[in-house]
Amino acid sequence: MKNKTYIFFFVLIISFLLFIFLLMSFAWEGKYSQERVLSNFFFNLPSWLLMGASDYFVIKLLSNKIKWKNDTVRIMTGLVLNNLFIILLFLVAHYFILSTGYSYITRYIIPLCIWNSIIVFLIEIFRYSRKQVEIEKRLATIEKEKIQYQYETLKAQVNPHFLFNSLNVLSSLAYQDAEKTNLFAKKMSGVYRYLLLTNDRPVVTLREELAFLESYIFLEQIRFEDALFVEIVNDESQLNRKVIPVSLQLLVENAVKHNITTTHSPLTIRIVIGNEGITVSNNLQLRSSVDKGGVGLKNLQRQYALYQKSIDVEQTGGDFIVRIPFMEE
């Protein structure tokens, strides 16, 4: 339906330009008459439509087949090529087919190029407006998906299970170690503060994410004690790189949620920060039944896909490995 509408308006614009062109031509010659304008209009309309179609084809071909660093160069190249093509067709038609004289040909070449240039610019404006509409739609989709992801992430972290487990641990610590209880409460408040502060931020620095992850790991290690080991191989030069908020925590949570974590079968998670991204791996000891709640790896993959980036997931031997890229600066 949209294509039919675009074609209709394209034909309408070409027709209007041709009509104006004929009015100006006959007024310049002093031979204006309504009958002559209309007869020439219907006679030349197919040629002008063909000219507009060829302009569009050349512009589309140049845009799709060649990577241009500058849109101005692309537009000017298209303008020159389209006018050369139109001039060539005009010469062939009027010299070999219609057998018109040289003076007749040269008199109409410049006006023809001017009007053809107007058509080219109108096509460029049309393509630009369509591109802007598509970009706006995509940005709206990304924003909608981002808000939904952030809501699901926050909901996953403040769900009753996580809060209940943390409060149970806090309650137990209160009777054993006052200093550790105070530290646990601070780390727990830090986790929720980070979630609230980054809820409307698309990316954060790796430094911020690691500080949050340290608080989250502290809570989990107090809960699991010697059943959970987390090793972080950090690269100080990468701390200002960008990542999606809560992405590392989600991968750690994913490992804990899907694997047995006991003193007899401890879970080991290794986080390695490199030049291109971050690798999170853990030893596989899958649970027979897994809680299906939470955001999970699939939602994280979807979030990265919104930015045209992908997450590599690999299972080799007894390890489960996930690699996430850095975001653009």
For residue range 40-85, list pLDDT tens digits in order: 667 667 777 777 777 788 888 888 777 777 778 888 888 888 888 8
Sequence-ordered list of residues with C-beta below 8 angstroms from that of 173, at least 6 positions apart, any chain: 180, 181, 184, 222
Question: Using alpha carbons only, what angle is made at residue 191 by residues 185 and 192, rounded to the nearest 5 degrees?
Answer: 95
Cα 283 to Cα 298: distance, rounded to the nearest angstrom: 20
pLDDT recorded at residue 273: 95
**Looking at residues 156-164, what average pLDDT do you find?**
61
Mean local confidence (pLDDT), 133-138: 82
Which residue, among 207, 193, 216, 211, has the nearest Cα to 269 in the 3D structure? 216
Q: Tell me the per-residue pLDDT of 6-16, one tens digit each, with 9 for 90 and over.
A: 666 667 777 77
CA dist., res. 305 & res. 170, Å (int): 38
State the alpha helices, DSSP H only, in the chain.
Answer: 2-29, 34-65, 71-91, 102-157, 160-174, 178-197, 206-224, 247-258, 296-305
Considering the chain, what percentage of its residues have pLDDT values greater than 90?
15
165-179: average pLDDT: 76
User: pTM score, two decimals?
Assistant: 0.55
Q: List Cβ neighbours of 128 (8 Å cut-off, separation of 6 or more).
A: none
- At residue 94, the pLDDT reads 65
Which residue has better confidence, 143 or 217?
217
Q: What is the pLDDT of residue 293?
A: 45
The arithmetic mean of pLDDT across residues 82-98, rounded, is 72
pLDDT at 301: 83
Highest-scoring range by mean pLDDT, 92-96, 113-117, 266-270, 298-302: 266-270
Strand partners, 290: none
Domain residue ranges in the chain = 2-137, 158-325
Q: Which residue has the higher pLDDT, 265 or 150?
A: 265
- Across 117-124, average pLDDT: 82
Average pLDDT over residues 22-30: 65
Domain 158-325: CATH architecture, name and number where available: 2-Layer Sandwich (3.30)
Answer with the residue of higher pLDDT: 29 or 259: 259
State the chain's mean pLDDT as an integer: 78
pLDDT per residue over 253-311, tens digit each?
888 888 888 888 999 999 999 988 999 999 998 887 655 544 567 778 877 887 888 89
| Mean pLDDT to the nearest integer, 204-229 | 90
Share of the chain above pLDDT 70, in %: 78
pLDDT at position 157 over 80: no
pLDDT one-digit tens code per residue, 187-216 = 888 888 887 888 778 889 999 999 999 988
| Residue predicted with more confidence, 97 or 247 | 247
Q: Rounded mean pLDDT of 92-111?
A: 61
Whether the pLDDT of residue 158 is over 60: the answer is: no
Query: In the structure, what pLDDT confidence band is assigned to residue 98 with cuts at 50, 70 and 90?
Result: low
| Overall average pLDDT of the 131-158 stretch | 70
